[in-house]
Every structure is written in structure tokens, then in C-alpha cells.
Amino acid sequence: MATSDSITILHVHDIDPDLSIENLIDSVGYIQLETTPESLFADMRGLEILNDKFYILDFKGTTILSFDKNGKFLRKISAQGRGPNEYIMLDWMRTDPYTNKVLAVDGFSNKILIYDENLKLEKIVHTDFRPRIVIAFRDQKLIHYNYVNKEQEPPGLLKEFDLHIIDMTGKTTGGYIKNRTPEHNILGTHATSSHADGSISFLPIFGDTVYNISADGTIKPSYILEMEGKHIKGLSERQRNEIESDENNPSHRYDSWEEKGYLLPFEIFDNGTPISITFNSRESLRYLYSPQSGKSYLYNPMKIEGNSTLKFLTQSAMAQQGEWFYQPHNAITMQNLSDYYKFSGKYLDMINGMEPDANPVIIYYRFKPF
């Protein structure tokens, strides 16, 4: 069911040309992840936070590792193989703060794996389709999001709904939000967020409405993006149906819609302050909204004025906890890029002080109250 109460309008305005990164960022630091023969990994595909612990899916999709809030290695899963409790490759991982589970997806063998917060395997769910993104675990049901072409799915619930309900036998038994994303979704963008109260935020591709799905399944719009400049617009049903996957037809390509002002929401963080929405488009943009003041900013993280090192360190985020945002970086990569990006000042000193041959570091930062 759907209700329409308590909707917040987010006013999306044009970029303020006088805004600088120093006006936005309050403080920056980093956590060095412990490097041992057992914990060593090269890069990460995913970063999640649960109960003050970091969970990392390595870039190859072979291992999940956990570290405490100070970077001390705790444990890992490395079960690559074709056995009943193994996986071929993990292409997605998400923690669920409502049930304290770690959810992983092996799309190559149609498996969804459920671990407890200590990375003990509790359940493997086998599906009759290739699972993509599992975002929550509710009452012995998984909430799933399919980011590829809906036209590839057989007729039924996977095609009709944007979010899918999967039971412990692997069957799709229902769904949330009908057909608010294009049938030809070739870019794989998504914007979802899971919350400790059991609710889920979902911002459809090309959409202007952030939906909230509560733990009991109630659906309501929580935010509506209202455009004051040339930026975000929501697609009508007719326009969504016009989007094609034929990249040789200029009128049907996604970037032709972007030229008209339609942007692609890539990530939403609304587990703290401020709310952050990132748009993955021709011009990467980030929108910040403060629930306390009602104020907001829209900016390009790499084109904003200010210290280039600070811009680089805070240009994106993989996780949010309260007022803090977290993003992994490799020290040796940043050190090698220092001349190219003209890194300088105390932030360059911080980068040069990192161990280049160690595990990646996790940069954490927060925004100034506004």
C-alpha cells in the first residue's frame, strides 16, 4: 500500500559558483587497515559498516573481510569453489543493520548467501534466475533489486516490480514499486539505502521521488526532488517506455536524455546528516541536504574550487554512519597521483605518511553543519 503523508521536498538548484570544498568539509582522517598475510588484499569492490565494524568485499569477488573500527583485522570468508557452501565469485555485498546480517550474491551460480555479523554462514538461497543486488533481509525474506534490462527477464514479478521479495526457497513471491524504472536499464545505476529500523530508501533511475519501504512493507514517498534549475527531472511513463538499449540510435541513448536535463541517481545515503545523493552522469554531481536547516548544496566534487587533495579525498563515499562518510583508497595510488592532481598542503602530508605497500586505507570525513 502507499500513503502520501510527511513528504519532504528537496529543492535542487543550480551549482553555486562561489562554493569551495573548504566551505563544505569539516574534517578528514584515515584508518589504516591492518596488513597481515591473512588479511592482505589489493583493492575492494564493496565497503559496508555494521556495528562499528568494516566489511570489505575484495575487488576480485573472492573474499569478504571484516575489520574493527580501528582497522584491526577480525576474520574473513574465502570459500571460492563449486561446493555446496562455496561460491564462484561474489559480485555484490550488503550489510543489513536491521537483522545484523551480511548478504552476498554469487550471480554466476545463482546463489544468495546469508552470513551473521561474525561471517558465519547461516543460509544459502538458490534462485532460478541470476540475482543481482540484495539490499535487505526481512522476516525470512530477501529484498532484491535487478539493475539490468527488464526485457531479459521472463514475464512475471521480476519484470513487473523494481524491488523483488524472495523467500528462503529462492522463489520470487512479490515485489515493491511497479515499473518506475526503464525496461531498458543498460547502465546498471541504482540508489538504495537500508536502515536500522528495517526501512529501505529507493530512488528509481531517472526518477524524482525517493520511496521509503517500511519493515512491514508500507510504501510511501519520503522525498521529492523539485527542480529549480536545469538539472534533475523525472521521466513520465511514456518516456520510460521510449528508452531503448540500442546505442547506435542517438535519440534512444541515455546521454540524449541527460542532455535534456535528466540525471542518473547512483547512490543515496540517508542514514545520518547530511543526506547525500550522487548522480552518475556526464557531469558527476553530488547533492547534499540538511534535514535540520532545510538547506542544500549541489556541486561537482572534482570541479569545485579549493584544495585539490581535499577534493580528491572527499569526492565520493561507499558508506555512511551518522555524520561520517567513508571511502577506501590505496596509499600508493594516491602518492603516484600527487603530481598529476597537484596535491598540496597538510592533506598531501597525510597521504605521504601512509604505508604504500600496506592494505588500503579508509578515508573518513564529515561536512560542516549548514
Q: Which residue has the cell 544459502?
A: 124
Asked whether the beta carbons of 161 and 204 are under 8 A apart, the reply is no
- The pLDDT assigned to 187 comes to 52
Of 308, 312, 283, 313, the closest CA to residue 298 belongs to 283
Q: Output the pLDDT for position 264.
A: 72
Average confidence (pLDDT) over 225-252: 57
Model confidence at 288, pLDDT cuts 50, 70, 90, reads very high
Q: Which pLDDT tens digit goes with each residue over 245-268?
A: 445 555 555 566 656 656 677 889
Please state which of the ranges 174-188, 205-219, 265-279 shows the lowest mean pLDDT.
174-188
pLDDT at 149: 64
Question: What gap in Å lies between CA 209 and CA 268, rounded to an integer?
Answer: 12
Neighbours of 54 (CB within 10 A): 24
pLDDT at 313: 97
Question: Of residues 258 and 20, which shows the higher confidence score?
Answer: 20
Binned at pLDDT 50, 70 and 90, residue 4 comes out as very low
List, for residues 303-352, the tens digit of each pLDDT value.
999 999 999 999 999 999 999 999 999 999 999 999 999 999 999 999 99
Residue 88: per-residue pLDDT: 96
298-325-29 Cα angle (round to 5): 115
Lowest mean pLDDT among 14-18, 108-112, 357-361: 14-18
Of residues 189 and 311, more confidence is placed in 311
Classify residue 230 by burial, with Cβ atoms within 10 Å: 0-12, 13-18, 19+.
Answer: exposed
pLDDT of residue 204: 83
Determine contact, residues 296/11, Cβ cutoff 8 Å. yes
What is the value of pTM for the model shown? 0.90
* Mean pLDDT of all residues belonging to the chain: 87
Looking at residue 343, its pLDDT comes to: 96
Residue 177 has pLDDT above 60, yes or no: yes
Q: What is the dihedral of CA 164, 168, 170, 175, to 10 degrees?
A: -10
Model confidence at 154: pLDDT above 80: no
* CB 73 within 8 Å of CB 33: yes
Share of the chain above pLDDT 70, in %: 84
Least confident of 70-74, 105-109, 251-255, 336-340: 251-255
Mean pLDDT of 218-239: 71
230 CB-near residues (< 8 Å, 6+ apart): 14, 261
Supply the pLDDT for residue 191.
84
pLDDT the model gives residue 245: 47
Q: Element (H or E) spanning 331, and its range?
A: helix 331-336
Predicted pLDDT of residue 249: 55
Contact at 8 Å (CB) between 61 and 46?
no
Residue 157 neighbours by CB distance under 10 Å: 16
Predicted local distance difference test score (pLDDT) of residue 231: 47
DSSP 10: E
The residues facing 210 across adjacent strands are 223
Could you identify the residue written with the cell 536500522? 196
